[in-house]
Amino acid sequence: MGNATSSVAAKFAFFPPNPPTYDIYREEDGRLVFPGLMADMNVEMNLLDSKGGNKIVAMFWRHPLARFTLLYSHGNAADLGQMHELFIELRAHLRVNVMSYDYSGYGASTGKPSELNTYYDIEAVYNCLRSEYGIKQEDLILYGQSVGSGPTLHLASRLRTLRGVVLHSAILSGIRVLYPVKLTFWFDIFKNIDKIRNVSCPVLVIHGTNDEIVDWSHGRRLWELSKEKYEPLWVKGGGHCNLETYPDYIKHLRKFINAMEKVSLTIPQTTQLTSNTSFTEQVRRNKCLRFGK
Q: Could you tell me where the DSSP H helices lie in the chain?
A: 2-12, 84-94, 115-133, 149-156, 174-178, 192-195, 216-225, 247-260, 281-284
For CA atoms 8, 225, 142, 145, the dihedral sign is positive
Q: Which of 84, 211, 215, 226 is catalytic?
A: 211
Helix 115-133 with 149-156: angle, nearest 10 deg: 60
- The CA-based dihedral angle spanning residues 28, 34, 40, 45, taken in that order and rounded to the nearest 10 degrees: -80
Looking at residue 17, what DSSP letter applies?
A: -
Contact 109, 55 (CB under 8 A): yes
Report the C-alpha gap between 269 and 163 in whole angstroms: 12
Q: Which of 168, 207, 240, 252 is catalytic?
A: 240
Contact 103, 113 (CB under 8 A): yes
Report the C-alpha gap between 219 and 233 in whole angstroms: 10
For CA atoms 82, 84, 85, 91, the dihedral sign is positive
Q: Which of 50, 104, 109, 146 is catalytic?
A: 146
211 is catalytic: yes
Instruction: Quickly count: other Cβ atoms within 10 Å of residue 46's Cβ.
Output: 18
Beta bridge partners of 61: 43, 98
Report the C-alpha gap between 175 and 51 in whole angstroms: 26
Rg (CA), the chain: 18
Question: Which residues are marked as active site?
Answer: 146, 211, 240
